[in-house]
Amino acid sequence: MRNDMTENPYRTLFRLDGKRAVLIGAGGIGREVALALAAHGAFVVCADKDPEVAKQTAAAVSGEAVSLDVTDGAAVRDAARSLGDVDILVLTAATNVRKRMLDYTEEEFDRVTGLNLKATFTVLQSFGRAMVERGSGSIVVFSSVRGFVVEPGQSVYAATKAGAIQLVKTAAVEFGEAGVRVNAVAPGVVETPLTNQIKANKEWYDAYATKGALGRWSQPSELTGAVVFLASEAASFVTGSTVAVDGGWTAVDGRFTPPT
């Protein structure tokens, strides 16, 4: 019996060779996502509001850099038309204002919802339209564990991340007949510059570390496997799902371990 492993389709199940990916939000976690997509064979277009961030990440993956403010609906629609056939779209861009509800301003509310929710809708609509017309594609939107569980000071952020999950589900249903898959990734606590405020407070940092089942924070690189999976043929029958990459955060009821 011939043992030719090159004919085994499972060897290439996660490969993205020949795929064109657009990554919106190219810094922090986005940079690691770009590296992972490129490592699996995709050509990555790195889009970011900061053109230098886009250029640096694009250079790291031999990709293309695009300056894009996703809160500008016209710019997003233009990008969806001008970037050619897109096989994979990953949206990581988001913002947060950590304040209690009674202290929130209208401007802060509009800023957080404008990026995290309205821009998510615009990206899904604009890039989804082109994918539906072509009859293929995979979209991955970053949500958060805050889409499921909350804490004081996270009202608007949590609402937008829950909203993003529902947008993903709806897009999956509406785009599915055309062969387009739409999914979300929900990270837990991640070591990035955006969490410096928490890391500067040891009690706060340790409380987050011990909340999950693994007892630690994640690194940005640990989120990339879920993205590659959802983008690849390994997830050909996965759509409308939210993959929690949270170290067991949403699996644990409270931070107290009772004596047993």
Which residues are annotated as catalytic? 157
Nearest-angstrom CA–CA distance, 255 and 101 = 24
Nearest to 116 by CA among 172, 149, 71: 71
Handedness of CA 173, 233, 226, 79 (dihedral sign): negative
Q: Two tokens at 59? A: 């250079």
Q: CB within 8 A of 146, min separation 6: which ones?
A: 154, 157, 158, 161, 162
Concatenate the DSSP letters of all residues of 21-62 into one string: EEEE--STHHHHHHHHHHHTT-EEEEEESSHHHHHHHHHHHT
Nearest-angstrom CA–CA distance, 48 and 26 = 6
Nearest to 188 by CA among 242, 244, 142, 246: 246
Nearest-angstrom CA–CA distance, 43 and 20 = 5
